Structure 1
Amino acid sequence: MNTKVKKILIFLVSTSTSFVIAWFFTTYNKNLAKVNIVNDDFVTNLLGALLALSIAIITLVYSTIEKIHQRITHHPNKNNIEITINSLFSALKKDTWIVFVFLITIIVVILLRDTDVPYLTYPNFLPITRINVVYFVKIFVLFLSFIAVADIILCLFALIKVSNQR
């Protein structure tokens, strides 16, 4: 299967799965306000910790890049390994950026939750309440962040595997 098609398919499956999970919890959990995971402090602290973990992994990888290049200097597939390493670094950078964007998104949603903008009101015809929209966004973003961090960890293991090729 083509790599681009595979990446798009993985993106669609992970996004739709996160969407369904968030929709399920916000629709069928009537005591969602009591669940600690949708608490503002918990969500922002967790996303901040995930972002810190992502940055720490990138720092770890960048500090070992010279050793990786020294190991593959005389490898017969040096060009392929360098292409793989560059694509993995690109994926690390994108995933870390995504976690950062999710953190900003959660902060904006928290700030807008109780804000009343003149001439803009929450539509009454929607089957979901305003607070459930906030809970939905929080849960949806958390699951997508978990997927991004899992991808970061997989990239780290892939870089270790590539650097150990002899």
Structure 2
Amino acid sequence: MNERKIKEIERLIGKFFDGETTLREEQRLYEFFARRSVPARLQGYREVFAGFASMQAGEPRRLKLRRVLMRVAAAAAVALIVVSAVVAYAGYREDRHLARLYGGSYVIENGHRIDDLSEIKDDIEKALDDAGRIERRISSANVADNAEQEVLNSIDDPSERRRISEMLND
């Protein structure tokens, strides 16, 4: 580095400590002391200007990127927590719903009682479907029985009524 540039930096250092530098001149000082090689006679100022440079309003690009990445990571963590909470709450609601519908139900399988409602839900629903089918079949059979009885009751002749009743029961 030539002597003229070193003298210019020394002049800026004097202005800096007198509080007379412009932002551009201060930036020149920060950049100068951030270099790898600084003349030995100015080496003592290196840490001072590194400290002042770290306090400037504009951040280095790496710090900005790091701050953005931290915000993205924080947002992702919040999103993950919200999704986990929603999934946990849905599971809780499902358990409560099953307890309301089938509370106290159990299944005996291979001699072991199973009362975990989430585990036996399908068995309970199958049993309820079967029961519904049986009720519908019984209901339709009752309709047919009632219709037969009405027809028999409408026949005035007792012997004819008995003969038709025997035919229906065969």
Higher relative contact order (CA 8 A, sep 6+): 1
With normalisation by structure 1, the TM-score equals 0.25
With normalisation by structure 2, the TM-score equals 0.25
